[in-house]
């Protein structure tokens, strides 16, 4: 969601636009070096009220002046799309939509795998370990971690190494790692956990369409094989054990009571969840140089996939 973002200026607008461009550039570079990654273009933003539809119309007008294509789809056109099979029956109460041809969706696991393998071809070295200390050591940084076990007792071994530059991208755990350095860092960083649950559904056989649908903040993402990703809940929580068949998950599955018949009939294949890191008292994400050679890239909250490329570009420029 870069072009449908409500604002047209400021850091988040620039990061979204930069990521949109970089995803395409990276896709081409990955493909040229033998990796297959896909971007499914197209996003329907459904309007739930006339007020929301008016806002969409204003946004489309604004984007036109910026040479960014967004199409307004009025209720009659929307109905025609449903009747002709371009869209499935929509949730109750929809009164218009915005179609964005260049926003879209990707499979983060497919991309992450390709980026890691590509990185290894360029010399990226992956060390599997749990970092437990960052310490300034002259002009460099000493990183200590617990590595995988190499004996029968399954005991972890401790290792450390010096680096010129550290990018701290450890999500919620970042604050814990920064605690011993707090006195030297001029900004306070607090991250709170917000659980997100998502579902993969098998759709009835005659239901398929092109482009993701966003309805009242919920994404309906058509996937190969007649499947659908439905996500995601927003559940403030302290521990992962609170995840499960929550009322938020049920509300999402039934689109808060507005689900069309085909969605009610869809079969749940898989459920997954994660914990997003939301910055307290400041806008997501946190991209900061904290001390010489120490940067933090965390607190991306709901947009860490979208903003990944722009965040990486920020770090590369700073290095
Ligand atoms: C259900 C759901 C749906 C979402 N949908 C979207 C979406 O549609 N679009 C979007 O852009 N974003 C989405 N997000 C948000 C996105 O997933 C996050 O913003 C993103 O994953 C943040 O990435 P990150 O690398 O900063 O942190 P994380 O993904 O939290 O990764 C942090 C990593 O650091 C590692 N780590 C932690 N501590 C240590 C340590 N001490 N030593 C070594 N490693 C450590 C962890 O193992 C982990 O691998 C969604 C999130 C959820 C849960």
Residue 227, helix vs strand vs coil: strand
Closest-lying ligand 1 atom to the alpha carbon of residue 298? 26
The protein residue with its alpha carbon nearest to ligand 1, atom 14, reads 302
Q: Are residues 209 and 266 in the same domain?
A: yes
Torsion of CA 236, 237, 241, 247, to 10 degrees: -40
Judge whether 218 and 230 are in contact, CB under 8 Å: yes
In this structure, the answer to whether residues 216 and 151 fall within a common structural domain is no
Answer yes or no: do 269 and 211 share one domain: yes
Domain membership of residue 275 (yes or no) is yes
Encoded tokens for 172: 């919620």
Residue (of 215, 234, 26, 214) closest to 103 by Cα position: 214
Query: What are the tens digits of pLDDT across the range 44-67?
Result: 999 999 999 999 999 999 999 999
Ligand 1 midpoint to CA 52 (Å)? 31
pLDDT of amino acid 253 = 95
Q: At 82, which CATH number? A: 3.30.9.10
213-to-42, 78, 91, 99 alpha-carbon distances in Å:
9, 13, 11, 9
For the chain, how many structural domains are there in total?
2
DSSP code, position 8:
S
Which atom belonging to ligand 1 lies closest to the Cα atom of 170? 34
Would residue 13 count as lying in a domain?
A: no
Largest CA distance in the chain: 69
Beta carbon of 16 within 6 Å of any ligand 1 atom? no
Percent of the chain with pLDDT over 70: 96
Pocket test for ligand 1, best of 163, 229, 300 (most atoms within 8 A of CB): 300
Same domain, 96 and 199: yes
Give the domain range for residue 150.
128-164
Span from the CA of 304 to the centroid of ligand 1 (angstroms): 7
Confidence band, pLDDT 50/70/90 cuts, at residue 314: very high
pLDDT at 149: 64
pLDDT at 238 over 90: no
Integer Cα distance of 66 and 52 in angstroms = 21
Examine the domain organization and report whether 135 and 269 are in the same domain: no
For residue 310 the two structure tokens come to 């722009």
User: 270 with 203, same domain?
Assistant: yes
Inside any domain, residue 264: yes
Looking at residues 248-255, what average pLDDT do you find?
A: 94
**Nearest ligand 1 atom to alpha carbon 219:** 8
| pLDDT computed for residue 240 by the predictor | 46
């Amino acid at each position: 969601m870069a072009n449908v973002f409500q604002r047209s200026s400021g850091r988040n607008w620039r990061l979204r636009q930069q990521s949109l461009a970089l995803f395409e550039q990276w896709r081409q570079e990955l493909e040229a070096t033998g990796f297959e990654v896909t971007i499914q273009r197209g996003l329907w933003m459904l309007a739930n009220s006339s007020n929301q539809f008016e806002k969409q119309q204003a946004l489309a007008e604004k984007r036109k002046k910026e040479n960014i294509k967004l199409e307004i789809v009025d209720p009659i056109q929307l109905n025609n799309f449903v009747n002709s099979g371009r869209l499935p029956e929509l949730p109750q109460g929809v009164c218009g939509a915005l179609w964005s041809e260049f926003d879209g969706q990707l499979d983060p696991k497919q991309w992450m795998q390709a980026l890691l393998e590509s990185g290894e071809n360029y010399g990226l070295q992956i060390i599997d370990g749990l970092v437990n200390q960052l310490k300034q050591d002259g002009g460099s940084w000493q990183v200590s971690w617990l590595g995988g076990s190499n004996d029968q007792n399954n005991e972890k071994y401790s290792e450390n190494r010096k680096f010129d530059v550290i990018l701290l991208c450890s999500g919620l755990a970042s604050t814990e790692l920064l605690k011993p350095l707090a006195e030297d860092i001029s900004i306070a960083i607090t991250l709170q956990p917000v659980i997100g649950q998502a579902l993969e559904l098998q759709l009835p056989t005659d239901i398929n369409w092109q482009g993701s649908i966003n309805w009242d903040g919920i994404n309906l993402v058509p996937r190969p094989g007649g499947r659908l990703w439905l996500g995601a809940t927003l559940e403030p929580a302290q521990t992962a054990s609170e995840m499960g068949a929550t009322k938020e998950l049920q509300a999402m599955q039934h689109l808060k009571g507005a689900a069309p018949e085909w969605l009610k009939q869809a079969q749940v294949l898989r459920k997954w969840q994660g914990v997003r890191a939301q910055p307290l008292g400041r806008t997501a994400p946190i991209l900061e140089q904290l001390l010489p050679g120490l940067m933090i890239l965390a607190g991306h909250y709901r947009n860490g996939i979208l903003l990944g490329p722009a965040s990486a570009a920020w770090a590369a420029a700073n290095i």
